[in-house]
Amino acid sequence: MEIRIGIVQSMKELSVELPEGTDRDAVEKDVETALEGDKLLWLTDRKGRRVGVPATRVAYVEFSTVSERNVGFGAA
């Protein structure tokens, strides 16, 4: 699963690829909880890196499956 996060006043978006088998409902709930207050939204990608985004800077959150975006060399 991939999560793309738009950041307020930034032309770029943050893209985090989560491990296969990640519970989408649990991640959505974690995102909603972080966005309710003045917190950091923490995600851990499939390589084990932690990414934190201040909730007050999040413009949008988009969930998708990784297979939707296979383009170019190595695409199945």
* CATH of the domain spanning 2-68, picked from 2.60.120, 2.30.30, 2.160.20, 3.30.379: 2.30.30
Hunting for tokens 């909880």 — which residue is that? Answer: 33
pLDDT digits (tens, 9 = 90+) for 20-37: 888 989 989 988 888 888
Q: Is the pLDDT of residue 48 over 90?
A: no
**Rounded mean pLDDT, 63-70:** 66
Report if pTM > 0.75.
no
**pLDDT grade for 75, boundaries at 50, 70 and 90:** low
Confidence of residue 61 (pLDDT cuts 50, 70, 90): very high
